[in-house]
Amino acid sequence: MAFKNADLVRSLYIHWPFCPYKCSFCPFVAFSKFDRFMVDYQQALLKEMDDFSVESGTRNKLKTIYIGGGTPSTWPDDLLLEMFNKLNDKFNLEVIEEITIEANPGTVRYEQLALWQKLGITRISVGVQSLNDEVLEKLTRYQKVSDVRQFMKWAGGMFRSLSIDLILGLPEISDDEWKRQLEEIVTWPIQHISVYFLSIHEGTALYFKVKRDAVLLPADDETVDLYHWTIEFLKIHGFMQYEISSFAKLGHESKHNRAYWSRDLYKGLGVGAWSYDGEARFQNEKKLMTYIEAQKNNETCLAYKELLTAENVRFEKVMLGLRSLQGFWIEDALEGLSDAKRTEFFEKVGMLKDQSFIKQVGDRIYLTTAALAIENEVAVALTV
Ligand code: SF4
């Protein structure tokens, strides 16, 4: 695959694409009713791990591993154990700082949690999304709130960090209901919360429902107001915002996501997985059978490669700096620009400062609270 600097990779993403059902809003590489291919997929995944290890020529000392999906909590215990044996064989996990697995509470057994703990998993990211069963069912996410509460009783205290995902802006969730849900959530034994705006991705079942008015979404400005309320509420309860969508108790920020936002190298394994080698971004084949067959036949499973241009790099540095609330260096946004473009950049900076969307401290530029919900527009404006 010609992954440059493979030996320098310190973060690994592993994709498990199987789901018990397909949620109507899902834009991910995920398959329901394909469980019969789990064993074949595992063989393909392990083969990709072998190939990467040969390419690297060393047992990379990993700092973070993220097992995402799909629904990794449907990974059968024996196969997961086999995958971890391979991980330990091909990589050096002696200095690992974080291993995360995503879980759908409706699919987790207590014995599974004990196994995950034994395997060295330190962090669980739980897909909660909402505490309203009816709304979840309408989104064809057949998970019960009672499963989530049971999961919290089991998993609380077992792992270094428990994180939950919530979706803001779901249909039929009033402001009051959202606030009541958060009041319960902050009493759970969790250390991290991700709050995502509902996105309607073209081609999803939800996209077609919205198009024919079968689902009514809340107005954008109401959702943005609620987002600002959420930031303040979580802060009062000890969850500090450290990225547009991420809130954590002190010391529980996601190390793996930080690696993405810092543009560190990472290798993604599995169908549809993305990688970054410092020069290019890659994506594996997104079709399950094509990925499996490619691995079986010793062919490349790469479907997409984009060599980053100077403009791409400037945009990533600006956008990730704004998103992660850590700001970006002005000189990074100016790299390689002509005098005319530099002038244009400073005009944009002046305009966005006047609108109170950004602030400058020394040679760095940061997003203001007022612009948190329009970070992408600000990043686009600043990439001239
Ligand atoms: S559980 Fe996650 S990955 Fe699976 S269908 Fe639902 S949103 Fe997609």
Spatial distance between the Cα atoms of 64 and 158, rounded to a whole number of angstroms: 19
Looking at the predicted structure, is the pLDDT value of residue 383 above 90? no
Q: What's the confidence (pLDDT) of residue 1?
A: 58
Atom nearest to 32 CA in ligand 1:
5
Q: Where in the chain is the domain with CATH 1.10.10?
A: 310-382
Q: Is the peptide bond before 70 cis (omega within 30 degrees of 0)?
A: yes
Q: Assign 156 a pLDDT band (cuts: 50, 70, 90).
A: very high
Looking at the predicted structure, is the pLDDT value of residue 134 above 80? yes
Q: Rounded to two decimals, what is the model's pTM?
A: 0.95
From the CA of 71, how far away is ligand 1's center (Å)? 7
Looking at the predicted structure, is the pLDDT value of residue 222 above 90? no
Q: What's the confidence (pLDDT) of residue 74?
A: 97
> What fold is seen in the domain 310-382?
Arc Repressor Mutant, subunit A (1.10.10)
Residue nearest to atom 5 of ligand 1 (CA): 22
28 CB-contact burial (10 Å; exposed 0-12 / middle 13-18 / buried 19+): middle
From the CA of 359, how far away is ligand 1's center (Å)? 37
From the CA of 16, how far away is ligand 1's center (Å)? 11
Q: Render pLDDT for 275-323 as a digit per residue (tens, 0 to 9).
A: 999 999 999 999 999 999 999 999 999 999 999 999 999 999 999 999 9
> What fold is seen in the domain 6-261?
pyruvate-formate lyase- activating enzyme (3.80.30)
From the CA of 18, how far away is ligand 1's center (Å)? 9
Residue nearest to atom 8 of ligand 1 (CA): 26
Q: Render pLDDT for 310-366 as a digit per residue (tens, 0 to 9).
A: 999 999 999 999 999 999 999 999 999 999 999 999 999 999 999 999 999 999 999
- Share above pLDDT 90 across residues of the chain, in percent, rounded to a whole number: 85
Q: What is the mean pLDDT of the chain?
A: 94
Looking at the predicted structure, is the pLDDT value of residue 2 above 90? no
Q: Render pLDDT for 61-105 as a digit per residue (tens, 0 to 9).
A: 999 999 999 999 999 999 999 999 999 999 999 999 999 999 999
Q: What's the confidence (pLDDT) of residue 202?
A: 81
Ligand 1 contacts CB of residue 19 (under 6 A): yes
Ligand 1 contacts CB of residue 26 (under 6 A): yes
